[in-house]
Amino acid sequence: EPEVTQTPSHQVTQMGQEVILRCVPISNHLYFYWYRQILGQKVEFLVSFYNNEISEKSEIFDDQFSVERPDGSNFTLKIRSTKLEDSAMYFCARGRLVETQYFGPGTRLLVL
């Protein structure tokens, strides 16, 4: 499968700061997702994005989170005011089909 790029690979931020995580998926993929994994815990769904709109979001995805595909290529996850508990690995996933999701290498976010 073609590679999905995520940037940055690591980010350290202070509590209350805004962070933007980026994913560069393959252009012909229709479905985009963000998941997160807190250290030692299971992978959790955050949000799905289809046809340039949010199609589903979890309870975790509150008003502090937003997603965009600003230039038709990059797919971003923004956390407006980070909390300590936002520290996690954030994975972007994409697919041409709903059932075939391939994950990027992740961004490790540490909130101090």
Partner 1 sequence: RKEVEQDPGPFNVPEGATVAFNCTYSNSASQSFFWYRQDCRKEPKLLMSVYSSGNEDGRFTAQLNRASQYISLLIRDSKLSDSATYLCVVILPAGGTSYGKLTFGQGTILTVHP
Binding site for partner 1 (CB under 8 A): 31, 33, 35, 41-45, 48, 50, 55-56, 58, 89, 91, 93, 95, 98-106, 108
Distance CA 98, CA 80 (A): 28
- Minimum gap (Å) between residue 63 Cβ and partner 1: 20
- CA angle (50, 62, 16) in 5-degree steps: 120
By beta-carbon proximity to partner 1, the closer residue of 14 and 42 is 42
- Minimum gap (Å) between residue 26 Cβ and partner 1: 15
By beta-carbon proximity to partner 1, the closer residue of 77 and 93 is 93
Distance CA 26, CA 61 (A): 24
Could you tell me if 96 and 50 are in contact, meaning their C-beta atoms sit under 8 angstroms apart?
A: no
